[in-house]
Amino acid sequence: MINVMRRGEYTITTDRDRLDLAAIHGFLTHSYWSPGVPIAVVERAIANSLCFGLFHAQDQVGFARVITDKATFAYLSDVYVLESHRSKGLSKWLLEVIQAHEDLQGLRRFMLATRDAHGLYSQFGFKALANPSRMMEIHDDDMYRVDSRT
């Protein structure tokens, strides 16, 4: 089911056909969390996630992606609003729409990782891990760095 929400000149939609892959990739490849990510990886991630595109008229100005089983777990990822559209409450609205989505209700755990947006996410109930010693990861900061794979 495709959801569409409107607020003034802005629209949030879950319609994957409206997503601007080039715009999303352009932002993500320069972000601190996925520098150099190949467009094929972004395309595959979008195809296998619940995605939220933020638009100003026809231009994509924001994005968020939720990896989920739609029953017990979700992970919020790749959230951004272009700098020229910030300070308008759009990131908060985007999070409100995400948390209200029917496929994300009744989850046992909803996680995310952030370097600098703790204040934003805490307004929506996110907090530091209650018991971080239970969590483990395999993480490769250099995954998309070409020179590290040669």
pLDDT, residue 1, reads: 77
pLDDT, residue 148, reads: 47
Cα torsion 63, 65, 14, 3 to 10°: value is: -110
Match 């020179």 to its residue by tokens.
147
pLDDT, residue 25, reads: 97
Q: What is the mean pLDDT of the chain?
A: 93
Q: List pLDDT tens digits, range 93-147.
A: 999 999 999 999 999 999 999 999 999 999 999 999 999 999 999 988 888 876 5
Which letter does DSSP use for residue 146 in this model?
A: G
CATH number at residue 132: 3.40.630.30
Number of domains composing the chain: 1
- Which domain, by its residues, includes 44? 4-149
Q: Are the CB atoms for 72 and 109 separated by under 8 Å?
A: yes
